[in-house]
Amino acid sequence: MEQQEHDAQTDLSPRTKVVALGRPQRAPGASLNPPVTFTSTYIQDGAVNYARVDNPTWTPFEEAVGELEGGRALLFASGMAAVHAALSLVPTGGTVVAPAAAYNGVVVSLTEAQAEGRVAVRWVDVTDSDAVIAALPGADLLWLESPSNPLLELADIPGLTAAAHEAGALVAVDNTFATPLLQRPLEDGVDVVVHSATKYLAGHSDVILGLTVTADTDGGRELHTRLARRRTLAGAIAGPMEAWLALRGLRTLSLRLERACANAADLAERLGTHPRIARVRYPGWGAIVSVDVAGDGDGAAAAEALTAGTRIWSASTSLGGVESQLERRRRQPGEPEAVPVNLVRLSVGVEDVDDLWADLRQALDAIG
Ligand SMILES: *Cc1c(COP(=O)(O)O)cnc(C)c1O
């Protein structure tokens, strides 16, 4: 998918917006970048009186991401804090329709909530729209992730959102893998977009942060208020330094993503030619590629050997940073069983693609 060229509303390209948004007002002597405000409280009788409720350092990053997604953003202490705020929109005893193979933190959270009798979960294959639609009657929330982590499955976001609304369910989309430069779910009528800003938005593997984004409609504003209240009461707030670093990281999102996506397309093709690769999972866009590694038995040992054998790629969990990373996902406790044991997720970074390929190839060639 191409980065969108411009936005009708402000007529600025997202490539410009990532650089220009969230700046202080221009005035002689004003700083180009927003300051970092370290405070726990404020002198009384202002708009905000305590820093668990708001911090001016969050605002520029929230404004920038909100504008990029086409809604209003709230910053959270982590992607999972944002996920939990979104899940809190489901009433006790309510029903969630969720992907059987989503980010494992989401799958584990919903599995435990179900075991404790707090919600009912209907697990679905999100690539099978008919099955998802059949699971919707009586549901309170449809949870989607597209492309999904780590199978890179795609869901029909507009079609499923329309069906969920007809059934009276809210729709949340985890947009971490796509970023607003490649996909804007609010434009498809989605109610809540969730991000792990830890990944592409901040982009340098140095902070943990998350966001929710809701539409600028009456319904969207009501959800924003409920999510903000959840953030304040649960206390899942970002540190000012992390928020500032995330905004700095966002400045290069377009550049980073352009290079990483081009590298990923190139590597997906080259990986497909190697005899050790049984399957390449790549939706044709984005910067994540997953591979099933061929080897003795179930291939898990061969997959481990690949991750142990690289010098430039780092064997580490997480994704979306400038540096290329790879991981055999089933190492993680709670990873859904739908994920093959020999699957290695590659988060393609911005290094030289020939160096990245040479490193993967020597590691693949060396598998015993
Ligand atoms: C990493 C991730 C999360 C969780 O985000 P944290 O910032 O680690 O809490 C949620 N969804 C997806 C798709 C992720 O990759």
pLDDT band at 1, cuts 50/70/90? very low
Nearest alpha carbon to residue 283 among 165, 99, 153? 153
Taking the centre of ligand 1 as the mean of its atom positions, its distance from the CA of residue 347, in whole angstroms, is 13
What per-residue confidence (pLDDT) applies to 11?
A: 85
Phi-psi region of 289 (alpha: psi -120 to 50; beta: other; left: phi over 0): beta
Across the chain, what does the average pLDDT equal?
A: 96
Parent domain of 240: 2-250
pLDDT band at 317, cuts 50/70/90? very high
Residues 193 and 316 in one domain: no
Specify the number of domains making up the chain: 2
pLDDT band at 4, cuts 50/70/90? very low
Mean pLDDT of 247-273: 98
State the CATH number of the domain containing residue 229: 3.40.640.10
**Sign of the dihedral through C-alpha 129, 133, 136, 141:** positive
Residues 77 and 199 in one domain: yes
C-beta of 175 in contact with ligand 1 (< 6 A): no
Residues 233 and 287 in one domain: no
What gap in Å lies between CA 187 and CA 16, rounded to an integer? 20
**Buried/exposed 271-304: b ≥16 CB within 10 Å, e otherwise:** beebebbbebbbbebbbbbbbbbbbeeebbbbbb
Nearest CA to ligand 1 atom 8: 79
Domain end (from 204, 234, 250):
250
Residues 38 and 133 in one domain: yes
% of residues, the chain, pLDDT over 70: 97
Query: Does residue 355 carry a catalytic annotation?
Result: no
List the catalytic residue out of 7, 42, 52, 331. Answer: 52
Residues 292 and 236 in one domain: no
Mean pLDDT of 303-332: 97
Residues 245 and 264 in one domain: no
State the CATH number of the domain containing residue 307: 3.90.1150.10
CA 264 from chain center: how many Å?
A: 17
Query: Which ligand 1 atom is nearest residue 148's CA?
Result: 13
Domain end (from 224, 250, 276):
250
What per-residue confidence (pLDDT) applies to 8?
A: 46
pLDDT in tens, 93-123: 999 999 999 999 999 999 999 999 999 999 9
Domain end (from 250, 283, 303):
250
What per-residue confidence (pLDDT) applies to 10?
A: 65
Residues 244 and 259 in one domain: no
pLDDT in tens, 128-158: 999 999 999 999 999 999 999 999 999 999 9
Residues 97 and 214 in one domain: yes
What's the whole-model pTM score? 0.96
Residues 236 and 261 in one domain: no
